[in-house]
Structure 1
Amino acid sequence: SRDRLIHVLNVEKNYRLEQTLDDHCSAITSVKFAGNEDIQLISCGTDKSIYFRNAQKLPDSFNFTRTHHVAEKTTLYDMDIDITQKYVVVACQDRNVRVYSTASGKLKCCYKGSQADGGSLLKVQLDPSGTFLVTSCSDKSITLINFHSGECMAKMFGHSGLGGFWEFSTEEGK
């Protein structure tokens, strides 16, 4: 949210407030949970930071502790977690997609998320197989990219506004 706080609520306990995280110094643009066995909370914001936190199990709740902090030189607008839970992909103001390890917080790779010369990447989403990702740019374009190679597979225009919501089908041929 714009107040730079993340409120962690316990759904099983009538949405009881468990913890408030205040690591960011400006608006938070995306928060995701990751992890197969260990739970992680990853957040990014307009302060150009990504915070990685691991959950510690308490007797009747969880407590998130910061494990990694990554400071970039560009604003980070959106994130998604790959199917293996090993990588977080981030849509950035400089039109790049940055891929970080969820375990170490280290940058794995960086590639162009839009073929445009202007605008910012506002949204990113991986497909259910983890093969492709799609980005939405403020120039009203949508780009389909091979997640593993960074190769642009298709680029589309045609929205009268920003293309920010889409869904991959899990059914073949549809």
Structure 2
Amino acid sequence: MSTSLDDTIGYDFNEETYLSISFDLMMLTPFTLTKLTYSPLQTKDDHSLSIAALRICFNPLEKQLYLISCGNEKSIIFQILSSEPCQFTRTSYAVEKQKFHDLNIDNTNSTINIISQDRMIRTYSIKDGKRLRQFIGSLNEDGHLLKMDTDRNGNLIAVSCTDICVYIWDLNTSECVGFIYGHVEVVADLKFTSC
């Protein structure tokens, strides 16, 4: 089991329970932390190749906690946490023709944005896994997209590409509103801030 912080995400349920999910290659292991005791909920092996990205979100309209993962076998798996028994159950999945590299959740917790090896930015519904839109995420035809982040309002998405540029896109219009270049190597990660 991986113990790297890069491979672990967490979610606060309430004052007494914290959910932590560790992933290593193809395995997901959710843990609950109650009164300083970790207890494994289950081990998931839904992906047949390594897991590229994993996120947890709570959708307040549906009152559901979702676990969303994408793997190098070109699939996205959507799961919800059920209470009896307490475990994640797959609700839907999506498959594309290219490997996925990163995913994030929009500010409403109702859609995800995902980037893939074919330089596409795709948006999927968390509720049913349906693709809502897609567009090319770089101006150059070389390379592929590596990392991404959306701004706090959910209007802009920044993506790093192996062409050593960072592209900023308007998610509403799919237009490139800017790009940044000047790095000597690829941009390994990026984040919007509220400075």
Query: TM-score, normalization: structure 1?
Result: 0.91
Match of 1:52 among 71, 78, 84: 78
Q: Provide the rounded CA distance (Å) in 2 between the counterparts of 1:98 and 1:134.
A: 13
Write the letter of the residue equivalent to 2:146. L
Shift of 1:139: 1.5
Contact 1:3 1:27 in 2 (8 A): yes
Letter in 2 for 1:49: S
Q: Which of 111, 118, 121 does residue 97 from structure 1 map onto?
A: 121
Residue 41 of structure 1 corresponds to which residue in structure 2? 67
**Amino acid aligned to 1:22:** D
| Per-residue deviation, 1:3 | 2.7
Q: How far did residue 167 of structure 1 move?
A: 2.3
For residues 62-141 of structure 1, the aligned pairs below 5 Å read 62-141=86-165
CA displacement at 1:11 relative to structure 2: 2.9
- Tell me if 1:155 matches 2:179: yes
Match for 2:25: what amino acid?
D
Taking the aligned partners of 1:58 and 1:161, their CA distance within structure 2 comes to 49
Q: What SS does the corresponding residue of 2:43 show, helix, strand or coil?
A: strand
How many residues matched? 169
Question: Which secondary structure state, in structure 2, belongs to the residue aligned with residue 25 of structure 1?
Answer: coil
CA offset at residue 2 of structure 1? 5.4
Structure-2 separation of matches of 1:167 and 1:78? 13
> RMSD between aligned alpha carbons?
1.4
Name the stretch that deviates more: 75-84 or 1-10. Answer: 1-10
> Stretches of 4+ moved more than 4 A in 1?
none
CA contact (8 A) 2:156 2:170 kept: yes
Residues 160 and 190, structure 2, Cα contact 8 Å, conserved in 1: no
Higher strand share: 2
Q: Does 1:8 align with 2:30?
A: yes
The structural deviation recorded for 1:116 is 1.2
Q: Percent identity?
A: 31
Of stretches 12-21 and 105-114 in structure 1, the one that deviates more from structure 2 is 12-21
Task: Tell me the distance in 1 between the aligned counterparts of 2:67 and 2:109.
Answer: 12
8 Å contact from structure 1 (residues 2, 26) kept in 2: no
**1: CA distance between counterparts of 2:33 and 2:187?**
31
How big is each residue's C-alpha offset from its partner over 1:76-118, in whole Å with a ceiling of 9 and x where there is no partner?
Answer: 0100000001110001100010100001100000011111101
Give the whole-Å Cα distance in 2 for the aligned partners of 1:26 and 1:155: 33
Contact 2:166 2:180 in 1 (8 A): yes
Please state how far the C-alpha of 1:138 moved relative to its aligned partner: 1.3
Write the letter of the residue equivalent to 1:84: T
User: For each residue in 1:112-163, what CA deviation from the matched residue of structure 2 results, as whole angstroms up to 9, or x when unmatched?
Assistant: 1111101111111111111101101111110001111111011111112221
Once the two structures are superposed, residues 38-75 of structure 1 have per-residue CA deviations (whole angstroms, 9 ceiling, x without a partner) of: 1000000110000000110137xx31000111111000
Paired position in structure 2 for 1:22:
45
Unaligned runs of 5+ in 2: 1-22
